[in-house]
Amino acid sequence: MDAKELIPTQQNSIRNRFHRFFFAKEIPFGLAIVRILVPLILFGTVCTRWRYSRELFSSDGAPAPLADIFRYYDFLPVLPGSVVVGLFAALGFFLICSSIGWMTRFSLIASVVLYTYFCFMDCISMATKYSVIASHVLFLLSLSNCGAIWSVDRWLKGRRQNRSLPQYTKYELPRFEIWPQRLMQILIGVVYFGAAMTKLHTPGYLEGDQISYWAMSRYNNPHPMGDFLTMYPIVFSVMSYVALVWEIVFVFIVWQKWGRIVGLGLGAAFHIGTLFSLGLYIFPMISISIYFCFLTEKDVRWLSAQFRRFYRQGVWLAQYFFKLNARIERLRPHHVTAWKSSAAWGAGIVVVLFLSIYVEDRLDLYGLRRAEGRMTLHEVAPELIEEMLVPEQVMRQKDKFLSVDVGTRMVGGWLTDRKSEFMVGDLILVQCCLNPPHEDIWIDCHFCEENGRIITRVGQIVPRENLRYTFQIYAPEILAPGNYYVSIKSKGKEMMRRSITLLPKLSAVAN
């Protein structure tokens, strides 16, 4: 074969692989799971905000449109309070319908339109990273046939007879082109790759300083492990490097079997870790839910086979599913036409709109019908006005210092063996951590006896871009064992102190 014949063959091969990648037909198992989980999670966030929807999104309250930040004033209309209350409740209705697969495509379209609108109306709390990703996912789901299986739409059609659940996959299920699922997979990979590029240009990320300060706070939500992990900052540094490498290579390795297992496994571990260490709740649930778009038909076939094997071994499980399936079949309406389902769906929207407006009106959250009259604004006390209008206070010197730790070993710029007891003759490492922002600052480190006599004094200028500095102090062998302390000073004043104990050498004890 000459070169002229080889080039068209290669081009055809690339074209065929591209066509198979985007337009191969599969049963949309993965998209169906994403359709079930993502709207259900967003419904929880809608429920927590509905009570305050008039205040957050309407002209009766104090909305914060995202477009105003970029000086696109009146980019979207700010609706009246009662309209917003009804539409926000309708958004919850559409999300539930999307999750259960009732009028799936229309519910998803309405969900993405309303959800995006309300995110634009509240850039403070609703327009977040997870809401941006979720709105794109809802849009891609609306373009797909994710409601073709595991949905009310499929159930109402009554195409399947009374069969037990493990035999479900034996029937011919509808197949569709896979391109919406591929676009969702590419979306996740591009998001991770862009996040990695941002982190590469973020000072303090790879050293773990950024995550460490985040873990100390309760800015997002309470978290059980953040304070504990701050005692081992090297863990944050290692996690930062692993997360950065994983985000860069994710989009390249996730298309292969083992790469997909490794990439998704590390991703799930990473997001679960942010839940326990940083207090992120919604973002990990959204991200892990979207991971199911990488589920292939072969994966579902294998899982179904394993479940059937377990099902055959457990008689009690078979009986349970037989009874459950019988009850579901009794609930299925027979001969349901499409217009009846659409009419019920439309009636549900009308009921939700008027019922939500009525309930919010009866709750009287803003005291419009109170016995003592409508709520009014009260004049602020003069003392509070003076306190609010005072010039910005300069940060106190001691507030620039975060912590001081002592040890003998360092890894990645962090102390790994924080302790308070040392042997006479040891090299003691004293690490001083600072709070951002701070100016170029001179720090003195004094090694003192218990009575205050200075044994060793060292100093260093810490540049404004550094958040920690490590001093080296040698405890000479002529010192007597006992109690000592390390003092960190700035501008002649003591900022922090750490007590240590010097122990005799093991050789001296043996003699």
Q: What is the pLDDT of residue 7?
A: 58
Residue 347 falls inside a structural domain = yes
CA 452/CA 484 separation, integer angstroms:
9
Question: Contact, 352 vs 90, CB < 8 A?
Answer: yes
Residue numbers of the domain that contains 365: 24-177+314-376
252 and 136 fall within a common domain: no
DSSP state of 331: H
| DSSP string covering 251-266 | HHHTTSHHHHHHHHHH
Q: CA 254, CA 261: separation in Å to the nearest integer?
A: 8
Per-residue model confidence (pLDDT) at position 2: 52
- Three-state secondary structure along 165-222? HHHHHHCCCCCEECHHHHHHHHHHHHHHHHHHHHHHCCCCCCCCHHHHHHHHCCCCCC
What separation in angstroms does the CA of 492 have from each of 135, 397, 403? 55, 11, 18
Q: Does residue 260 lie in a domain region?
A: yes
Name the pTM for this structure.
Answer: 0.83
Residues 161 and 189 in one domain: no
Spell out a b/e string for 365-382, using b for 16 or more CB atoms within 10 Å of the CB, else e: eeeeeeeeeeeeeeeeee
Cross-strand bridge partners of residue 448: 454, 485
Q: Are residues 45 and 150 in the same domain?
A: yes
Q: Please indicate, yes or no, if residue 135 is contained in any of the structural domains.
A: yes
Same domain, 49 and 141: yes
| Host H or E run for residue 103 | none
Residue 301 inside a domain? The answer is: no
Question: How much is the CA Rg of the chain, to the nearest whole Å?
Answer: 31
The pLDDT assigned to 314 comes to 60
Query: Is 306 inside any structural domain?
Result: no
Q: Are residues 93 and 234 in the same domain?
A: no
Q: How far apart are CA 60 and CA 361, in angstroms?
A: 14
Q: Specify whether 166 is located in the same domain as 199.
A: no
Q: What is the pLDDT, as a whole number, of residue 355?
A: 93
Q: What 8-state DSSP symbol labels residue 371?
A: T
414 closest CA partner among 233, 210, 229: 233
What pLDDT shows up at residue 57? 93
Residue 162: helix, strand or coil by DSSP? coil
- The answer to whether position 405 is within a domain reads yes
DSSP symbol at 495: E
| Helix or strand (DSSP H, E) at 415 | strand 414-415
Which residues in the chain come in under a pLDDT of 50? 1, 159-169
Residues 226 and 372 occupy one common structural domain: no
Quick one: 257 and 146 in the same domain? no
Q: What pLDDT, on the 0 to 100 scale, is given for residue 192? A: 94
| pLDDT tens digits, one per residue of 146-172 | 988 888 888 877 644 444 444 444 557
Same domain assignment for residues 141 and 189: no
Question: Are the CB atoms for 67 and 75 separated by under 8 Å?
Answer: yes
Cβ neighbors of 442 (< 8 A, separation 6 or more) are: 459, 460, 461, 462, 490, 491
Q: Are residues 340 and 263 in the same domain?
A: no
Q: Residue 285 falls within a domain, yes or no? A: yes
- pLDDT recorded at residue 168: 44
User: Does 287 lie in the same domain as 208?
Assistant: yes
The bridge status of strand 401-407 relative to strand 176-177 is: unpaired
Angstrom distance (rounded) from CA 123 to CA 72: 14
Q: 473: domain CATH number?
A: 2.60.40.1930
Judge whether 336 lies within some domain.
Answer: yes
Strands 454-462 and 427-434: unpaired
The count of domains in the chain is: 3
